[in-house]
Structure 1
Amino acid sequence: MSETQPRRLIFDSEHDQFRDSVARFVQKEVAPHVDRWRAAGRCDREIFEKAGAHGLLLMWADEIDGGAGIADLRYEQILYEEMIRHGDIGVYLTLHSRLVAPYIGRLGSDEQKRRWLTGAALGTTILAVAMTEPGAGSDLAGIQARAERRDGGWVINGAKTYISNGLNADAVIVVARTNPAERRAFGLFIVERGMPGFERGHKLAKLGLDAQDTAELFFNDVWVPDANVLGDAMHGFAYLAEGLIEERLLAACQSIAHAQAAFDLTLPYVKERRAFGRPLGALQNTRFVMARRRAELDAMQTWIDALVMEHNAGRLDAATAASAKLLTSELENHVIDDCVQLHGGAGYMDEYRISRMYRDARVSRIFAGSSEIMLEIIGRSLGLSDRME
């Protein structure tokens, strides 16, 4: 937890001990490699295995599947915060273990759980989910990849893009259309490394998140057995919707943590940097900018902490999760923009972390549902739609 934040009321001594353990892990196993990973465009696979050995993956899963049986989202929140504070936002452990693996946990048979979750908890099996296509981003109903029933399984054809963990992944949950006549008939299919017809494109160059591998995936007559289908092959749209509340809350946790890290980088900088013969922090504009952002961060963090507790209690709704994702991503970008400005010319140089954070932050208003989609969800929750008369 940041030293500049007021005391946060949702954590107890066990959470504090866990935070200290995660901070030490990130400082030892992540921080020394960040520059190399960012230059390579992907982190080493070994970091997943090290995180698994440290008990940081699939904490929610039952012990029989390699987890710790801890459903409390506060532990994942702490992992986000310490990874961003001491390491790099592009090390996507949480996507692997809290966004993708739960589909197997919720929908998988006992055999499927034993088959994939144990390796995922150990970090030896890296997971990804393939939803986005060149012509279908936030609008999942526009997905064109298709799966056709054949020979005790399904044959998948199509292409996916912007897939996080796309290069490192050993098992990819692929969303494909299973009934062309039904707009929302999708299946979730686990495609494994080495399956004939499954190919990966180049590592995609991005504006930010340089340490996180992003790739195109191609499926050319990939036969997937029934044993690799999660749940009902016609109900995938509903399954995806079930996971969006938590995904957007986690995105909010990430955004506020990233903004807080930027603030913590900038505060000592403006105290030390001199302009017009005085520390930059002695100038009224600097004081006012930092004071306003401190107040906004504290208010937003308090709300997000409360929503984490609401989610733990099973009470968080889709519109509130959308609001959290919308407002935290906007605050993240505003705070980091101010921090770059206060760094002056140094803020434009990649040797300073704040420059890299500026690039990393931009996608938060796009992934997990764009800001425009969040506004649409919130608006509809108010009874407002384009069908009103």
Structure 2
Amino acid sequence: MAVGLGPMSTLHPVPGFELGIASAGIKRPGRKDIVVMRCAEGSTVAGVFTTNAFCAAPVILARKRFLGPVRYLLTNTGNANAGTGEAGLANATRTCAKLAELAGVPENAVLPYSTGVIGEPLPVEKIEAALPAALASLSVDNWADAAAGIMTTDTLPKGASRQFQHDGVTITVTGISKGAGMIKPNMATMLGYIATDAKVAQGVLQDLLRDAANKSFNRITIDGDTSTNDCCMLVATGQAALPEITAASGALFAALKQAVLEVSMELAQAIVRDGEGATKFVTVQVNGGATHQECLDVGYAVSHSPLIKTALFASDPNWGRILAAVGRAGVPELDVSLIDVYLDDVCIASRGGRAASYTEDQGAKVMAQEEITIRIDLGRGTCSETIWTTDLSHEYVKINAEYRT
């Protein structure tokens, strides 16, 4: 059951960006598992990609092509086309070539994306057969259907949208994402697609996406596994009647940056709320670090600890597990006498041991909540970082044990 995640709010159409959905039946007959997205001619595209050395064939192609003129994004679910070697790369290239042929665009103008089981051959013929239907269904109003079409083990589709006014012109930023397991960021994580009708120079757009990803998708983790297929794309169609943004400055850029960050943050947190088997949405705040990296090291040590995650699932305020994780995070010359640890506003540890004011009943009340904040004050400096994660439940094990059956 997704934690605090309900139906998507309104996803505003983005002029110059259309989405089409079709069924290839890759894993289940009739399941809508192909999504085609069409970008207006002249759009600029930014992308961040997995750093996993076994990156999937579609990642290799998309990373090579996204700086050129891009017209179509092609996504399939049910098969990751990862760990498939040269044959996988040839298959990804072939599906792009088929879509390019049908759409009448150069092959390099098509970017591929895949998600699903690793190590199995891509069912090229099924995908090719579904492409005409996907093209026929292209519409600016298909965001919600596309959000459902890219799901794998997700229980709910994920989307977010913002609009703002500049000089009397409405600018839209809308995005969708998928992901529920194999989530540990190392660029962005999962698959994510965000579009805006602003006109933005590619270099500015790339920096904008990288910054947004680092504050959102790169601050979530469910199980500590970085996927072979992670990609997040930001498309600027340039259809709004405003000047091109050519520098990271000015009121228009600031408003666009805020909208992209808000959409990215909502999508990233939705992935955590829909984490496989999750019953808790957990915010890990690390304050008072000497560097941002040591804050992240502590945050991930806590977020990835199976002992902490199972205690969260059991609603057990076993605060000693938190102290142990902080202590093994690798922070040099860590003075534990300066560290305070909180569950929400309840101080559980101070000056190297149990807080004098803490009672087990206080901790149990916080741990019984669906949403919990673990706050760690290191007392070393002024840097802070926040990570969002989940508990670890029986259902997570069941989902992943039965993933291929």
TM-score by length of 1: 0.29
- Which one has more relative contact order, counting CA pairs under 8 Å at least 6 apart? 2
